[in-house]
Structure 1
Amino acid sequence: MHSDLNPEAPEFYPHLASVTKGGYSTMNKTIKSSNQLPAGASHEMFKTFTSFNIVKCKLSENVVTQSNQIVAKELPTVKLKINDLEYNTEKIIDVNDSMLDRVNINIDTESGVNKPNQLMVARNVSSWNNGPIIAKIQMGSTTFIGAKNIPRPQLSFKDAVDNSESLWVPKISDKPNSIKSLALSIIYSEDGEAIGYEHPYRVELDLYHPPAEFIDPDPSPPKFPPSLEETKYTYVETEEQLDALVKHLEGVKEMAVDVEHHSYRTYQGITCLIQITTTEGGDFIIDVIALREHIHKLNLIFTNPKKLKVFHGAESDVVWLQRDFGVYIVGLFDTHQAARTLKMSALALKNLLLKYCNVNTDKRYQLADWRIRPLPDELVEYARMDTHYLLYIWRMMKADLLATAGGNPRLLLAVFEQARQICGTTYNKKVVHEDSHMPLYVRSKKSFNTQQMAALKMLYKWRDAQARLLDESTTYLLPNHMMLALSETLPREVQGVHACCNPMPPFIKQNLITVHRMILSCRELPVEPQLYQMPSSIRTMASAQQHLAAAYNVHDLAHMPEFTDDHRTNFDVTEYLNSEPPMQPEVKAFKTTYKTYCGIVSDLNVDAKLFIPPYDRYRKYRSLAQMEEMKEFKDKEAKIAALGKGDELIKAEVLAKLQQAKAKIEDDGKIAIKEATEIVIIDDEDTKAKRKRKISIDKTERNVTKSDIKKGNKKSAGKNNPEPFMYKNANYRKFYSENNTEKTRPKMKFKKHK
């Protein structure tokens, strides 16, 4: 096939170029049109229209029919189905894998990858690294770098790696440039629990102020550094070379520093390289794996407040140096914080190099395995680029900070203060709690029941314990997406574990039975409805907001300018972003924009001036409900208090009534006895006997009532709380008039007995 890479190659298909260009244009147009289709909450709304569903069904049928014609060329047995997204996605992945495998096999066959003359093997390694095989394969304009059999550096460390959850103890044993002598003080929480050690240079950092030469404007513009090829480069891998470097750094005032780290094959991580650049000495790369026990000598330079250490994004570098070598920093300038203070659109080092140095760097080796020894030339060049221009960038950003503030150093001092706060951070070990798995679950946006949540929690804790024991990263033993798939699927058979973990990590292959038994134990738990689930209304609104924020950038971004770390930044097209997209959909009804979405108003809130999302309404109603509950609770408390006071008032009132009733009964008794005696004297002899009998009966009843009342008073006097009032023995005659009683009393009829 004719190509720019190989112009002499014959054209084996005459119309291949036109077909390729035409197919690309058609595919590009299709993707751009599909980006305009409604999605998320908008799609759910459009589904309520019959015409939309008809058009969608016709489009789906056409897509499935044409896809089946393409798929049949590769796998004739595969047939896609209509309205079965999961099945179709799985089959499309299988077809793509089959195509890529076939292409790779053909390329390997034609290019002869396994020929010995195409492999450049390097075996000159450092003292700690005894036998890795490093291979570089050149294919066209691309170079592949591979390595295998890399020994684990931590096996040769003199200080044993401690992955337990015990408190991390700083490794510092000597404190140069100190104001306060070395003293490791434990920090305790409010509960009296030890949570860490105080920063050894806390006093020095609190008293630090940048020297005047780093604050005052430069008398002349900084000199642009020479290229990498014209700059001296030194690789430090012995103690003698490290001592020479420290002696050289004692004579300079500023230096650029960077750190390369590896975390995939170790639990806590390993610092592999330290890059240092000075104007006088050039670029230095320190093999800190080979010199791990001697790197603490850099404390003499790094803690000197008169020397400026320039980093870019030092948050992680500071704690890595503490953890592995006991190295601390006093006197730091962070270009990342400076870019943030200047409100730059891009904060990555790649963009700073492009802005100030007009240098476009390749950041594809940012996640490379820095344990490889010897370092390939590509990695050496990448490591040098991180610090080579950093001193020049610091000088330029210093001038920009002063110019932005009108010559006032307040912004520059603010950056130094932020850097001082970064230097004050300390390293602490990772601690696993009962809910440590929840952040992973929340990010996954899944809905688990009790069985699935128990499986996720069990696998998470088991993976962490095994990673600590083996000194491996948790993602190497069991990646997060595989752990979520196992927890969600809960396979009954071992084959299901194979299906969820494809390709299966070596550790899971060794512990396959253990993983399967843990999953089965979780399946035996009772199933409860989906707990830990976000309300559907909130989830719909969240997805709608994400969709609105990502308008016009779902799949294809070829028509938009790039502003990522991996592409060159174009600073001249900012106005283009604010303009309307050049491509508009043919069907206007399918267009989904922020204005269209927010303009949809139901009949319930047609008079509303402002649209309030459901979640905001829920939050406001919840606050109102809480206020109502608090008000109701306070009312109940007031009623209870009133009832308590009312009981005391009732008791006092009852006692007063009893005393009044007692006095009244005594007075009534005396008056009644006097009247009855007079009646007996006046009456004649015939009725005398009857009168006496009636008086004696009434007197007897009064005496009984008086005795009962006296007994009740004696008992109440002996107790704090009086007994309940005896209503059956009460005399209610005081409430009635005797004359009225006689009138209303019915006449008794006696039956005569013969």
Structure 2
Amino acid sequence: MAETARHVIDTRAEYLDAVAMIAAGTGPIAIDAERASGFRYSQRAYLIQVFRRDAGVFLFDPPAIGRFDELQDAIADVEWILHAASQDIACLREVGLDPHVIFDTELCARLLGFARVGLGAVIEQQLGIHLAKEHSAADWSTRPLPDSWLEYAALDVELLVDLRDSLQELLVSSGKEEIARQEFAAVLQKEAKPVAAEPWRRLSGIHSVRSARNLAVARELWLARDAYAQEIDTAPGRLVPDASLLAVVKAMPTTRKALSELREFTGRASRSELSRWWEAVERGLASAELPAVRVNGDTLPPPRVWSERNPEADLRLKAARAALNELSDELQIPLENLLTPEYLRRVAWHPPATMDAESIGEALTELGARPWQIDATAQKISAAFVEAHQTLLESSEAPS
């Protein structure tokens, strides 16, 4: 007998009926969201999947439903299970869904030292079920959604509760329950990144542009593309790729014809919106407000130049990395989860006056490290920093 096609809930009446059934279910909530990244400008959810034992799977159409306040009220205090929660939290919050407690199966797999942490790989390892992932990069703003996509989306949540229970057993047996609890809480507490003052500087390859006038053209092209992409809700790169904008910036055409004849200027909107791009080039060429070629910020130089720019910081970083790599292997926790690499770089570049474990711990706390990370790494980092300092002293005292 053929399988029954999955049904998408896209009316308020059906939605409220589903909320009642979910509220009557038992245990934690498995939840997932599908966006249209790479296709649409917005990062909104175009499908939200929910599963709860004794209730079943529900597929919701967020653009049709709008706010999910009733569902939030029904499940706010229940544990929510997500895979790679940091990817979905923002679009869930956008429609009124905001968990109080989560269990992140992807993050959990990392903390347990799994070699592969994608949902399909973790489910296959823990539950012995092969989960096809062929629609993960699909355009979920498509309507109607194909049945095969809906089946894929349903399976993403239908197995999450069993997966959570399996991973929880491993957390207990490995003594990592508290580590996971702190990491899950950190995902919820992490603040959204502030909007960059000059977002156009994210243009791929912009670091190679050394002229203020060329940068002004880059700025105007990026802003024009972004405004148009937002207007028609299309991913900017689908209109004109970054590489094409950069080609214009480097060629600096002085006429509309020269722009149209630039072979490297490609993309589906490169010619249909040629007037838009040429006007942006003209604004850049005429602008009296030239951007700075170098931006002063709190960004650290790349570690590859530390040996020349700050030799002692370079020694500190290398010594601490070596110590934390050993600890990572010992705990079977990836280095980037053991301690955020940026935190280690910052404390190596600007160490506290006294490099004891307590001072290192305080510096890491200010940066945002979790208590378990500080307990595990502060003493190791302190010892590595002291060793690096001693090495530098001995090398400076050695006869030439």
> Smaller-chain TM-score range?
0.5 to 0.7
3-state SS of 2:153 partner: helix
Alignment pair present for 1:396 and 2:170: no
Q: Contact 1:322–1:427 (CA<8 Å) still a contact in 2? A: no
Q: How far does the alpha carbon of each residue in 1:87-138 deviate from its partner, in whole angstroms, 9 at most, with x for none? A: xxxxxxxxxxxxxxxxxxxxxxxxxxxxxxxxxxxxxxxxxxxxxxxxxxxx
Alignment pair present for 1:617 and 2:308: yes
Task: Give 1:396 shift.
Answer: 0.7
Partner of 2:355 in structure 1? Answer: none
Q: Contact 2:108–2:167 (CA<8 Å) still a contact in 1? A: yes
Report the AA paired with residue 478 of structure 1.
V
Partner of 2:256 in structure 1? Answer: 494
Distance 1:473 1:479 in 2: 10
Task: Give 1:338 shift.
Answer: 0.8
Q: Contact 2:36–2:141 (CA<8 Å) still a contact in 1? A: yes
Task: Give 1:468 shift.
Answer: 4.2
Distance 1:468 1:453 in 2: 22
Report the AA paired with residue 345 of structure 1.
A
Distance 1:426 1:231 in 2: 41
3-state SS of 2:213 partner: helix
How has the CA–CA distance of structure 1 residues 356 and 450 changed in structure 2, closer, same or farther, with 3 Å as cutoff? same
Report the AA paired with residue 33 of structure 2.
V
Report the AA paired with residue 474 of structure 1.
P
Alignment pair present for 1:254 and 2:25: no
Alignment pair present for 1:339 and 2:72: no
Task: Give 1:319 shift.
Answer: 1.4
Alignment pair present for 1:451 and 2:213: yes
Distance 2:216 2:156 in 1: 45
Q: How far does the alpha carbon of each residue in 1:475-499 deviate from its partner, in whole angstroms, 9 at most, with x for none? A: 3443322211211221234354333
Task: Give 1:517 shift.
Answer: 4.3
Task: Give 1:525 shift.
Answer: 8.4
How has the CA–CA distance of structure 1 residues 432 and 622 changed in structure 2, closer, same or farther, with 3 Å as cutoff? closer
Q: How far does the alpha carbon of each residue in 1:286-333 deviate from its partner, in whole angstroms, 9 at most, with x for none? A: 12222224x2211123312xx22111111132211222x222112211
Task: Give 1:471 shift.
Answer: 4.5
Q: Contact 1:234–1:283 (CA<8 Å) still a contact in 2? A: no
Determine what percentage of the aligned residue pairs are the same residue.
Answer: 19
Alignment pair present for 1:245 and 2:245: no
Q: What pairs with 1:42-57 in structure 2 (closer than 5 Å)? A: none
Partner of 1:536 in structure 2? Answer: none
Partner of 2:150 in structure 1? Answer: 380
How has the CA–CA distance of structure 1 residues 363 and 446 changed in structure 2, closer, same or farther, with 3 Å as cutoff? farther
Q: Say what the alpha-carbon RMSD is for the aligned residues.
A: 3.5
Alignment pair present for 1:509 and 2:271: yes
Partner of 1:420 in structure 2? Answer: 185
3-state SS of 1:361 partner: coil
Larger Rg: 1
Q: Contact 1:314–1:334 (CA<8 Å) still a contact in 2? A: yes
Distance 1:509 1:322 in 2: 38
Unaligned runs of 5+ in 1: 1-228, 406-410, 534-538, 546-612, 624-754
3-state SS of 1:352 partner: helix
3-state SS of 2:199 partner: coil
TM (normalized to structure 1)? 0.36
3-state SS of 1:253 partner: strand
Report the AA paired with residue 177 of structure 2.
L
Distance 2:5 2:160 in 1: 16
Q: How far does the alpha carbon of each residue in 1:146-173 deviate from its partner, in whole angstroms, 9 at most, with x for none? A: xxxxxxxxxxxxxxxxxxxxxxxxxxxx
Distance 2:313 2:115 in 1: 39
Report the AA paired with residue 218 of structure 2.
L
Alignment pair present for 1:438 and 2:212: no
Residue 319 of structure 1, aligned match among 81, 87, 90: 90
How has the CA–CA distance of structure 1 residues 621 and 466 changed in structure 2, closer, same or farther, with 3 Å as cutoff? same
How has the CA–CA distance of structure 1 residues 263 and 296 changed in structure 2, closer, same or farther, with 3 Å as cutoff? farther
3-state SS of 1:451 partner: helix
Residue 354 of structure 1, aligned match among 116, 124, 141: 124
Q: Contact 1:231–1:282 (CA<8 Å) still a contact in 2? A: no
Task: Give 1:458 shift.
Answer: 2.0
Task: Give 1:266 shift.
Answer: 4.6
Partner of 1:200 in structure 2? Answer: none
Task: Give 1:388 shift.
Answer: 2.0
3-state SS of 2:87 partner: helix
Distance 1:404 1:381 in 2: 34
Task: Give 1:375 shift.
Answer: 1.6
3-state SS of 1:250 partner: helix
Alignment pair present for 1:273 and 2:47: yes
Alignment pair present for 1:310 and 2:75: no
Q: How far does the alpha carbon of each residue in 1:662-716 deviate from its partner, in whole angstroms, 9 at most, with x for none? A: xxxxxxxxxxxxxxxxxxxxxxxxxxxxxxxxxxxxxxxxxxxxxxxxxxxxxxx
Q: Contact 2:79–2:99 (CA<8 Å) still a contact in 1? A: no
Distance 2:33 2:170 in 1: 26
Partner of 1:330 in structure 2? Answer: 100
Partner of 2:66 in structure 1? Answer: 292
Task: Give 1:445 shift.
Answer: 5.3
Distance 1:355 1:447 in 2: 47
Unaligned runs of 5+ in 2: 296-300, 315-400
Distance 2:307 2:214 in 1: 31
Report the AA paired with residue 519 of structure 1.
V
How has the CA–CA distance of structure 1 residues 402 and 516 changed in structure 2, closer, same or farther, with 3 Å as cutoff? same
Task: Give 1:472 shift.
Answer: 4.2
Q: How far does the alpha carbon of each residue in 1:177-232 deviate from its partner, in whole angstroms, 9 at most, with x for none? A: xxxxxxxxxxxxxxxxxxxxxxxxxxxxxxxxxxxxxxxxxxxxxxxxxxxx8899
Partner of 1:90 in structure 2? Answer: none
Q: Contact 2:29–2:79 (CA<8 Å) still a contact in 1? A: yes
Give the number of the structure whose residues are more often helix, by fraction.
Answer: 2
Q: Contact 1:232–1:282 (CA<8 Å) still a contact in 2? A: no
Partner of 1:462 in structure 2? Answer: 224
Q: What pairs with 1:576-655 in structure 2 (closer than 5 Å)? A: 616-620=307-311
